[in-house]
Structure 1
């Protein structure tokens, strides 16, 4: 059962890093450091968007419109932190 705990923590870490890469890449695109006309950059960007849209979509429908500011990644990261805390505090159930 401990391996189940480790797999869950690994998946949460993976989602954390994918969201972090998506946020950093969106900043770089906004400040025109990266250009979406480059095929490699566009493929990574659209791949990350398609991967994370199932997480962001329901949250974007609930959150009010903030203009150009997207708070969905922040809410998902807070959810990941909460899940990690819950898993660590209940780690004894995995033994």
Structure 2
């Protein structure tokens, strides 16, 4: 849907698979962990460098819409909820009982 969930899952699966192969072929697991940690630091730094702040209600709605597989109504609901709770607030979604 554009929020990176599938990409993150595929990458995590590949890291686990290749890491297991490396350890099975004799790599020190702690060296593997240190390598993964360094890679994570580099990726996080790059993401922060390319990040763009989203502050306007319509921008928040757009991000919500993408995360909800294109459902604009959910995007609007999310933007409204964010407006009420603020950046540090918590939004809990529960299934209705009716």
TM-score (norm. length: structure 1)? 0.31
TM-score (norm 2): 0.30
Rg comparison, structure with higher value: 2
- Larger RCO (alpha carbons 8 Å, 6+ apart): 1
- Determine which structure has the larger helix proportion and give its number: 1
